[in-house]
Amino acid sequence: MAIWVIADKCTGCGLCVKACPYGAMQVQDKLAALGPRCTQCGACLEACKFEALGSDLADEPRPDLSGYRGVWVFCEVQDGALARVSLELLGQGARLAAELGQTLATVLLGEDVEGLVPELAAQGADRVYLAQDAGLAAYSTLAYTRVLSELIATHRPNILLLGATPLGRDLAPRLSRRLDLGLTADCTELAIDPVDGGLWQTRPAFGGNVMATIVTPTARPQMATVRPGVMALGPRRDGAQAEVVRHPVRLEPGDLLVRLLASQAQGQRPVDLGAARVIVAGGRGCGGPQGMELLAQLAQALGGELGGTRVAVEEGWLGQARQIGQTGVTVRPDLYIACGISGAIQHRAGCLGARYIVAINRDRRAPIFSVADYALAGDMFKIVPAMLAALKGAA
């Protein structure tokens, strides 16, 4: 199994160098050359416009996958209601199903959850696979894996989507190994390959510095977890009906090995910037704890978390757990608002994975602006209070 360069056809154009996610490809003496870092991922094969790369990677036989039909969404239930991410997945699942000409189904597990069926139908589900049992009242990895794997083996869906929540990220990999399925974590985009109908699963890689599109060529269903907050809700179909398919549940003692002893809500929630959707971050320009307090108010008003640079942490304006960048955490929120941050390379590396970056800084030449979607040259002590006032007025 290998990739090689066909010297007669290679023009040394360097497209493969750009495409290589591992930095393994170089142009030497006007010819592409593979280095030892090559993992044979095949990204270069796709990029070459001159058929100058040979490989025996694509020679695997493809099994007949036509028997796998339908888009499934795993429904996450929180405190008796559907998690928002499940509704987002239904919106996205409906779009994928329509493109494929297949149905959209949801999988609903719990003890007494049948009352959620009308809402699922209104959100676009054509069918609901319903499994109810006292053993499913609270999420447990092994019990849920058993029921889901039975349902998949029986009904053979084409695509299965789960939210990239703590629950989804606990369940999906377990299921993928039980059924020998490929799994792509934390997708931010999903699309259908117009040629073969496969699912293009796009996710951030290398700390958000590169986006990678991933496919599952041989196994069905194609499984992906999707980040909350990324997919748009579909149109509501009030009064729509969904077919209910009941699945008999027979759990075994081995499925209930892990026992929940206690569950305690945290008044003082531990900081987890990695999961935050909105982050307001401050740097040297905050000037002190008062500046940071101002940003904390903005973070709160936006339902986000407060973070900062190494300087802010070293000055004692902020706890270590909130440091972003070098020796801190790498974050990829939907919205990152950098205030009074010049944007040293070490800090930028920690926040580049954000979907949108807003920078507020007095110095128009600050490097942070080079990675910003929205650049506001000005005084954060004037702009942030103006934002707070406008947000209050809107509420």
Partner 1 sequence: MPGQPDSPLCVAVLVKQVPDSAEIKMDPRTGTLIREGVPAVMNPDDRLGLETALALKDSLGALVTALSMGPIQAVDVLSEALAMGADRGVLLSDRNFAGADTWATSFTLGRALERLMSQGPLDLVICGRQASDGDTAQIGPQVAEHLGWPQVTYVERLEVEGRELRAWRRLPGLVQKVLCPLPAVVTVLATPQAPRWPLVDRLLWACREAAPLEVWDAADIEAPAARTGLKGSLTRVVKTFSPKGQRVTQWLEGTAAEQSQALLAELRGHKLI
Give yes or no for residue 191 binding partner 1 (CB under 8 A).
no
Q: Are 92 and 161 in contact (CB under 8 A)?
A: yes
Residue from the set 211, 240, 249, 251 that interacts with partner 1 by CB under 8 A: 211
Decide if 116 contacts 75 (C-beta within 8 A): yes
Stretch that binds partner 1, among 95-103, 104-112, 179-187, 240-248 (CB under 8 A): 179-187
On whether the CB atoms of residues 309 and 348 are closer than 8 A, the answer is no
180 part of the interface to partner 1, by CB under 8 A: yes
Euclidean distance between CA atoms 351 and 360, whole angstroms: 15
Q: Confirm or reject binding of residue 73 to partner 1 (CB under 8 A).
A: no
One residue of 192, 215, 244, 296 binding partner 1 per CB under 8 A: 215
| By CB under 8 A, residue 27 contacts partner 1 | no
Question: Residue 3: which of 20, 18, 11 has the closest Cα?
Answer: 20
Q: Which of residues 295-324 bind partner 1 (CB under 8 A)?
A: 302
HSE, side-chain direction, 13 A CA sphere, residue 63: 9
Among 248, 253, 262, 365, binds partner 1 (CB under 8 A): 262
Is 251 a binder of partner 1 (CB under 8 A)?
no
Decide: is 206 part of the binding site for partner 1 (CB under 8 A).
yes
Give the length of the chain. 395
Gap between the Cα atoms of 366 and 360, Å rounded = 10
| 72 touches partner 1 by CB under 8 A | no
φ/ψ (deg, to 5) at 203: -145, 155
- 46 sits near partner 1 (criterion: CB under 8 A): yes
**Part in contact with partner 1 (CB under 8 A); list of ranges 85-93, 124-132, 215-223, 241-249:** 215-223
What φ, ψ does residue 392 adopt, rounded to 5°? Answer: -65, -45
Select the span of 61-69, 94-102, 126-134, 326-334 touching partner 1 (CB under 8 A): 326-334
x-or-dash string of contact with partner 1, 332-371, rule CB under 8 A: --xx---------xx-xxx-xx-xxxx--------x-xxx
Residue placing its CB nearer to partner 1 in the complex, 169 or 284: 169
CA-to-CA distance for 275 and 272, rounded, in angstroms?
A: 6
Cis peptide before 270 (omega within 30 of 0): no
